[in-house]
Amino acid sequence: MNKPFKESDVTPEQVFFCSRRKLLKLLGISSAALSLPVTANAGIADWFGGSSSEPPLASPPRPIDFTSPAMWQAKLTLTPEQKVTGYNNFYEFGMDKADPAANARQFKTSPWNITIDGEVEHPMTLDMDDIFKKFPMEQRIYRMRCVEAWSMVVPWIGFSLASLLKMAAPTSNARYVAFQTLYDPQQMPGQQDGLNSAGLQYPYVEGLRLDEAMNPLTLMTTGVYGKTLPPQNGAPLRLIVPWKYGFKGIKSIVKISLTREQPPSTWNLMAPDEYGFYANVNPHVDHPRWSQATERFIGPGGLFDVTRQPTLMFNGYGEQVASMYKGMDLRRYF
């Protein structure tokens, strides 16, 4: 059976080119100009920098206070900020990689409440001021691997989900953690066309086993590149689970529930044979439609700086996470 849409494996080159055409069209530049040769080193800011006709950001990123603990400052080549904030998956704002940055400009992320409920001793609702007061922020440089086989290295800012969960005090019944994105079709046009926009059901939901959620690597993320998240990266609060495929990193979270049963996850609901609940990065378990043995790293060079490199087991975080999956058949629990 044909699924309506899937995470496609188009290359960043194709996506950027398509976006450039759109941008030029927007700016009213003639199609003749499009046939002019493109300077290889054209700054990405020129392509995504936007025009004066764009609406101002409703919630512009602002600087955050954070520390940079040595253990999280991996010596890796960073993907530049303009690519991290210009090449996104956030289907609530459109399906092309440049759509979220263009369509989320008026997304209002303040005020924002997040509720923690379910199997906890202390259910609570916090706003973002509470979050910044209660949890010291840390910069953490993590590899990021999308199931589509592209990757980045990103300096996120956030705090361990474990500290938030400890505050809520999971009961002895809690075995999983369920997450939910905001549902607001007014603000999120991708949620408007019925139940199954892009083949996905909204609100976007995700889940982790409790031990995965408590792992120190699992980051509640409030910022990137020294500032609060821009809307396209999941402002004001999103999840980053660096040893799993990017789709586990649910954006713009409004609710976290501790549960007894394994919670649903959006991509798994859409195509259970293609996107598992675990979604651990694994070079030996291919996606049914493409290999996961290698990935395209989106690097700092020019617009088309993409390096093919081997995929790392657990995205390079095996030392910290492999023990959680001891004895599990990772082909079955993909």
Residues of this chain that bind ligand MTE (CB under 6 A): 7, 88-92, 146, 181, 204, 233-234, 246-247, 249-251
Q: How far apart are the first and last CA of the chain?
A: 21
Q: Is 78 helix (H, G, I), strand (E, B) or coil?
A: coil
User: How far apart, in Å, are the Cα atoms of 168 and each of 124, 209, 264?
Assistant: 7, 16, 22
Helix (H) or strand (E) segment spanning residue 133 = helix 128-134
18 is in an annotated binding site: no
**Nearest Cα to 253, choosing from 103, 131, 120?**
131
Q: Which of 146, 153, 161, 164 binds Mo ion (CB under 5 A)?
A: 146
Number of Cβ within a 10 Å radius of residue 53: 8
Q: Which does 90 bind (CB under 5 to 8 A by kind): ligand MTE, Mo ion, none?
A: ligand MTE
Q: Is 247 in the site for Mo ion (CB under 5 A)?
A: yes
Q: Is 93 in the site for Mo ion (CB under 5 A)?
A: no
On whether the CB atoms of residues 181 and 107 are closer than 8 A, the answer is no
Q: Which of 118, 207, 246, 276 binds Mo ion (CB under 5 A)?
A: 246
The stretch near Mo ion (CB under 5 A) out of 106-114, 197-205, 241-249, 273-281 is 241-249
Minimum separation from the CB atom of position 289 to ligand MTE (A): 15
Distance CA 4, CA 2 (A): 6
92 is in an annotated binding site: yes
215 is in an annotated binding site: no
181 is in an annotated binding site: yes
On whether the CB atoms of residues 266 and 196 are closer than 8 A, the answer is no
Minimum separation from the CB atom of position 246 to Mo ion (A): 4
Nearer to ligand MTE (CB atom), residue 170 or residue 190: 190
Minimum separation from the CB atom of position 7 to Mo ion (A): 6
Q: Is 170 in the site for Mo ion (CB under 5 A)?
A: no
Q: Which residues are CB-contacts of 46 (< 8 A; sequence separation ≥ 6)?
A: none
Distance CA 177, CA 158 (A): 18
Minimum separation from the CB atom of position 71 to ligand MTE (A): 23
Peptide bond into 123 cis (omega under 30): no
Minimum separation from the CB atom of position 180 to ligand MTE (A): 9
Return the DSSP state at 289. T
Nearer to Mo ion (CB atom), residue 99 or residue 119: 99
Distance CA 80, CA 49 (A): 14
Q: Which residues are annotated as a binding site for Mo-molybdopterin?
A: 88, 91-92, 146, 181, 233, 238, 249-251
Q: Which residues are annotated as a binding site?
A: 88, 91-92, 146, 181, 233, 238, 249-251
Residues contributing to the site for Mo ion (CB under 5 A): 89, 146, 246-247
